[in-house]
Amino acid sequence: MTPEHSPPPEHTRGRPGAAAVVTADGLVKRYGLTTALAGASLAVRPGDSVAIMGASGSGKTTLLHCLAGIATPDEGVVHYGGPDGDVEVTALSDARRSALRRSQFGFVFQEGLLVPELTAVENVALALMVGGTARGEAERLAAGWLAHLGLAGMEQRRIGQLSGGQAQRVAIARALVTGAPLIFADEPTGALDSHTSADVMGALLGATTATGRTLVLVTHDATVAARCARTVHMVDGVVAADRSASPSPSPYTQPSAPPTVSPSAPPTAPPTTSQSGREDGR
């Protein structure tokens, strides 16, 4: 259901008093003789935006992967507080973790991991079709999200015909179209220039925390981290610091035109408060 209230500012730090949507407690993860996580713990509230930073080898990506059920820690537990109640992610079978990721989590990666042979709208619709949505309905919802993210008119372009920033917006649309309440992003702006990075980060925040979703991302860019409500610093496999940020004003503006999805669309439609942005061929 589309939100009826005005979106909160992008620096809002979750919902006060709300139970955590995802928690990690005492995570340990080893790869051979290398310890990637050495007792990492983290709690993220609904509507929060958390940037995980740290030097190479600090464990930041491994923590993200464990939170998202992509990797299983050797010790410790991960809990997800979803719409059906608390789920111990670390206790699930591979099949059930895959089902959880498909239905409850969205993912944005540095290189997008889009299918180059498919068009923009087909890439986004694919996330719905694997869950059983008919192609026509999936493409209608996908087109709505692309328009919401400033890509109206580019639905039939293949990924190689888009700029880096435009391709990342397609990846963001794919992560959101299923209605996933929790979005994980691994260096979502790492391959972009600073101007395009700011635009993409604005699009990501505007489509997640500004509509009540939760965002957890890994970044090496302090400017990107400053746009989030919290910045977590990893050192030697543990959370060494966890502090609020003071984000600078977003250059990402809201247009007056609504997205091209009717108000009667199902929950996977974009919110009625639309975001857009422009790409200058970057």
Mean pLDDT for 43-72 is 96
Residue 119 placed within a domain: yes
Letter string b/e over residues 110-124, b meaning 16 or more CB atoms within 10 A of that residue's CB: bebebeeeebbbbbb
The token duo for 213 is: 């979703």
> What one-letter code names the amino acid at 231?
T
- 165 is in which domain, residue-wise? 22-244
How far is CA 110 from its chain centroid?
Answer: 12
- Residue with the larger pLDDT of the pair 256 and 99: 99
Residue 124 placed within a domain: yes
How many domains does one find in the chain? 1
The token duo for 180 is: 């996933």
Residue 237 placed within a domain: yes
Q: Three-state SS for 30?
A: strand
How far is CA 282 from its chain centroid?
Answer: 22
- Residue with the larger pLDDT of the pair 276 and 263: 276
Residue 171 placed within a domain: yes
> What one-letter code names the amino acid at 66?
C
Q: Is the pLDDT of residue 104 over 80?
A: yes
Q: Please give the pLDDT value at position 13.
A: 45
Residue 84 placed within a domain: yes
Tell me the per-residue pLDDT of 251-275, one tens digit each, with 9 for 90 and over: 333 333 333 333 233 445 666 544 4
CATH number at residue 215: 3.40.50.300
Residue 50 placed within a domain: yes
Q: Is the pLDDT of residue 282 over 90?
A: no
Residue 143 placed within a domain: yes
Q: Between the CA of residue 15 and those of 20, 209, 239, what are the distances in Å?
A: 9, 11, 22
Q: Please give the pLDDT value at position 58.
A: 96
Tell me the per-residue pLDDT of 146-203, one tens digit each, with 9 for 90 and over: 999 999 999 999 999 999 999 999 999 999 999 999 999 999 998 888 898 999 999 9
Residue 33 placed within a domain: yes
Mean pLDDT for 88-106 is 95
Half-sphere exposure of 203 (CA within 13 A, CB side): 32
Q: Following DSSP, what letter does each residue of 142-197 receive, concatenated?
A: HHHHHHHTT-TT-TT-BGGGS-HHHHHHHHHHHHHTT--SEEEEESTTTTS-HHHH
